[in-house]
């Protein structure tokens, strides 16, 4: 069950990333502004299912909120990486590093221990990721673009920590409630970006109207994908190993 959900969630996320690449190049060339829109989109979950939100102890509450909040700087740095290179290189590179960071963090924070069969599967996962990302790593080494590599490591680490904290919250309270607390953190962190003058300038409605209705419709479609994907992925994490 969790494998199917993870596949669907990450597929939706990938399609959303493709849309983000187009918009960061054409319509919204600002990683912070795009992260703001992605983060504030989480408010929709409070509007459609507020009755699922339940109180939690302070540690669980902090873990859930922080899990969501970390996603915003992760997106900012991710969009910066995508702006510097092809998304077909950036995403595989981050995707190959994230499982390693997740394994290390889940070992210390969640106390997860793998058996022999799961460990072998994990090694295959990492090896496959590295092979897929080999083109990206080779390109960075050839160009000596170590700043981009640092960005990808940072993004992978933030995504991994967010996922591990979310798993911790899932194990300590109701799954949907933990997800809603994480969206609260995401919205709060996104609203913090609104104080940035660049974000305020980029979010002027007149700038969107200049691009035409077709692009606006496409943007709404990609926002829906990136809004639904985290919920599906978090549900998968609640059922299986992070």
Q: CB–CB of 71/39 below 8 Å?
A: yes
Sequence-ordered alpha helix ranges (H) in the chain:
2-25, 31-40, 43-48, 58-84, 87-109, 116-143, 146-172, 175-193, 197-202, 205-209, 213-239
- Could you tell me the sign of the dihedral formed by the alpha carbons of 33, 35, 37, 40, in that order? negative
pTM of this prediction? 0.84
Place of tokens 């390693």: 100
pLDDT tens for the chain, residues 1 to 242: 788 888 888 888 777 777 777 777 666 778 898 888 888 877 877 777 777 777 788 899 999 999 999 999 999 999 899 888 888 788 888 989 999 999 999 999 999 888 899 899 899 988 998 888 888 888 887 887 788 889 999 999 999 999 999 999 988 876 778 888 888 899 999 999 988 888 888 777 555 555 555 566 666 666 677 777 877 887 888 888 88
What's the gap between Cα 186 and its chain centre? Answer: 11
Q: Which two tokens stand for residue 178?
A: 């933990």
């Amino acid at each position: 069950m969790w494998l199917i959900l993870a596949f669907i969630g990450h597929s939706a996320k990938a399609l959303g990333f493709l849309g983000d690449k187009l918009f960061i190049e054409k319509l919204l060339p600002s990683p912070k502004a795009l992260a703001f829109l992605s983060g504030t989109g989480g408010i929709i979950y409070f509007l459609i299912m507020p009755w699922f939100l339940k109180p939690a102890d302070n540690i669980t509450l902090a873990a859930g909120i922080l899990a969501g909040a970390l996603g915003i700087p992760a997106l900012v740095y991710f969009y910066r990486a995508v702006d510097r290179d092809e998304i077909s290189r950036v995403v595989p590179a981050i995707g190959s590093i994230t499982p390693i960071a997740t394994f290390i963090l889940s070992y210390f924070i969640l106390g997860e221990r793998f058996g022999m069969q799961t460990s072998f599967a994990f090694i295959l996962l990492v090896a496959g990721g590295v092979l897929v990302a080999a083109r990206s790593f080779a390109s960075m080494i050839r160009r000596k673009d170590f700043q981009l590599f640092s960005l990808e490591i940072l993004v992978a680490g933030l995504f991994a920590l967010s996922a591990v904290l979310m798993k911790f919250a899932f194990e300590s309270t109701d799954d949907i409630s933990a997800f809603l607390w994480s969206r609260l953190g995401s919205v709060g962190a996104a609203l913090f970006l609104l104080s940035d003058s660049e974000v305020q300038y980029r979010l002027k409605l007149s700038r969107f109207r200049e691009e035409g209705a077709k692009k606006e419709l496409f943007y709404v479609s990609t926002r829906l994908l990136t809004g639904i994907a985290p919920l599906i992925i978090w549900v998968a994490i609640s059922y299986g190993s992070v």
